[in-house]
Amino acid sequence: MKKRLVVANWKMNPESLSQAFKLAGAYKPSRNSQLVVCPPGVFLQPLSQRFGRKMAFGGQDCLWEQEGAYTGGISPAQLRSAGARYVILGHSERRKYFAEDDKMVNCKLRAALAAGLTPFLCLGGGLSAGVSESKLKIAIRRQFRAAVGGLKSLSRTVLVFEPAYAISTFGGKRVSADEVAGMAGFLRRLATQRFGSRVAAVSVLYGGSVDKATFKSYRVFGRIDGFLVGGASLRPDEFKRILQEFDI
């Protein structure tokens, strides 16, 4: 059985390292899924050193250079050194609060791949609730083409359908399981059109207010290879139930 990916995006939580240890320690990884925890950068190395055998770790973002005069930036190489194997790129909150555009996402993607990281490429940022399916696809097609510009293959890249309007901080509009499954198929077609049939099996995740109430309905379609989980990953009991669903 192909292992699914479950990514816990802690965002700017929790407040202290002791709380981060407690949260990670409460997780019980599934036998049939790969758990990836993306904590704030300041907690990455101590968490990976303590829990690296139990789960994988990733960064929430990275810069497009491996070193240099970029105050406040974290390079892909530094993430690797701190224990990260993965990195989230193009997240809706990065686009909204840090004015991240498609060109920046492309530069970060290429730098992350060059450093040996597996990127989670988020697509759907900047979109408003109520957008038509056709406009949604046009916007995601544009983001995808811009993000992968200059690449000869998708390599290790994982695609994430992450419509901004579904994120709790931007309104948390529920997305139907039909839409999630349909967009997963659309992303795979985009990948195939750009890179050929060899990427037909590219992994596609869904992110957008995933919790215990929505998880089962999203999962049954079999078109999604995993989930990018935000708020629910900060609630250990709820998150454990999501992980346990993969063992049923």
The string of DSSP codes covering 75-96 is -HHHHHHTT-SEEEES-HHHHH
Residue type, position 63, single letter: L
Instruction: Pick the catalytic residue from 15, 65, 67, 91.
Output: 91
Q: Which residues contact 31 (CB under 8 A, 6 or more apart)?
A: 246, 247
- 122 exposed, middle or buried (CB, 10 Å; 0-12, 13-18, 19+)? buried
The pLDDT value recorded for residue 8 is: 97
Closest C-alpha to 224, from 168, 185, 193? 185
d(CA 104, CA 68): 17
Mean pLDDT by 10 residues, the chain (248 residues): 85 98 94 94 98 96 96 97 98 93 97 97 80 86 96 92 77 78 92 82 87 73 84 93 77
Measured CA distances, 194 to 152, 158, 162, 187, 188 (Å) = 9, 15, 20, 11, 10
- 18 exposed, middle or buried (CB, 10 Å; 0-12, 13-18, 19+)? exposed
d(CA 34, CA 29): 8
The pLDDT value recorded for residue 241 is: 87
C-alpha 54: how far from chain center? 19
Mention the CATH class of domain 4-247: alpha beta
The pLDDT value recorded for residue 93 is: 92
Find the helix or strand (DSSP H, E) in which 206 lies.
strand 204-207
The pLDDT value recorded for residue 244 is: 83
d(CA 150, CA 227): 27
d(CA 149, CA 103): 9
Active site (annotated) includes residue 162: yes
Let me know: does 21 contact 37? Beta carbons within 8 Å: no
Give the position of tokens 């579904």.
Answer: 166
The pLDDT value recorded for residue 121 is: 98
d(CA 59, CA 38): 5
Instruction: Pick the catalytic residue from 15, 67, 100, 162.
Output: 162
Find the helix or strand (DSSP H, E) in which 204 lies.
strand 204-207
Each domain of the chain, given as residue ranges in start order, spans: 4-247
The pLDDT value recorded for residue 17 is: 98
Active site (annotated) includes residue 65: no
Alpha helices in the chain (DSSP H): 17-26, 41-51, 76-81, 92-97, 102-114, 133-147, 177-195, 212-219, 236-244
The pLDDT value recorded for residue 247 is: 67
